[in-house]
Homo-oligomer: A and B are copies of this chain.
Amino acid sequence: MIIRPKLSDIASSLGLSVSAVSLALRDSPKIPAATRDEVKRTAAKLGYVYNRQAAELRRGVKSMIGVCINDLANPVFVDFIRHIEDALRQHEMKLLLWNSGEDVAKQAAFLTTAQEYGTAGLLICPAEGTTREDIAKLLAKGFPVTTFSRLIDGVGISGFANDDAGGVFAAMEHLHGLGHRRIGWIGGGRRTSTAENRLAGYDRAVAALGLDPDPELRVFCETSRRSGYVATGALLDLPHPPTGLVAFGDLLAIGATTTCRERGILVGQDVSIVGFDDIDECTCASPPLTTVAVDKGAIARAAVDDLLSRIAGHAEGAVTRLFTPRLVVRQSTGPAPPARA
């Protein structure tokens, strides 16, 4: 038995030429329908597997896209991946997935692999510490790259992200409207565009709304439930703790609810908490979490479209597009408690 049959095996078993078999398998009208069927039957019988590497080498086309994200453990990226997959499927493109885990070295290794394996281009949410030079190097090689969720400025690469500053501002306005005047910030401890912009939204809102600008109210940490738990503890230990809390991400906000619960503090009454991203878990958190919903589907689709048109050679200049998020009010926010003595 032939281990891995190739076109020539099908051809010889049928008394056809290799070219005829090649065309038949791809439904060329040059081959009579009856012959095509026969070829396909024989291929199936022999257990033929198309060697796409060989075909792509010959044709000079590619059909894989590399996707590199920074933190698989954050559900928001699982959402992004699902949307990217959906968008890619319509273009018959496959996805080569990678998780950098915020490790620039791992990310660099993947970038190399992605190129060596002939991916057509790269969709990347850059790990913290990714430099313009890292990206410029790829671009110089003519390798199409588009960023999503996080942006890298000033290097001529397209980026599609949420309006992070605006999202936090909206969250702050919401709390301000509920009477909160001392509002804490947790998270965004990494040097990424997302962290910078969300914090900028916080600072801007503090100034614009006349809130307490106490720098102690800002606690920087990474994005995980545990970090949210710890950071919120620090905030509540303050001599004069905040009544409202905006978190860099939902994971942090969920961690924050744990801290409150342990201390017998009622979320939505004693303290109001707003998350960011709108992951599924928000609806079954306790209480269900008020959050800033990021339009992951629209961002994913726009990034895929940009990358594909770049790959196709219709490369207009780099574009940066920000998508407006939507505040979703659930039960983790409520009127500020009356001031205490």
Contacts and interface: CB of A to CB of B under 8 A. Distances in A.
18 contacts: A49-B141, A51-B118, A52-B116, A53-B53, A53-B57, A53-B118, A57-B57, A64-B117, A72-B78, A73-B78, A78-B99, A97-B97, A97-B98, A225-B281, A226-B283, A258-B284, A258-B286, A261-B286
A56 interface: yes
Interface of A: 3-4, 47, 49-54, 56-57, 64, 72-73, 75, 78, 81-82, 94-99, 101, 113, 115-118, 140-142, 224-226, 229, 255, 258, 261-262, 280-281, 283-286
A49 B258 CA distance: 49
A52 to B, nearest CB: 4
A113 B51 CA distance: 10
Contact of A73 (B75, B113, B258, B262): B75
Copies in the complex: 2
Contacts of A50: 116
A305 B73 CA distance: 25
A97 B77 CA distance: 14
A286 to B, nearest CB: 5
A57 B78 CA distance: 33
Nearest to A251: B281
Given A52-B116, A64-B117, A262-B286, A140 B47 contact: yes
A166 to B, nearest CB: 28
B51 A54 contact: no
A99 B95 CA distance: 11
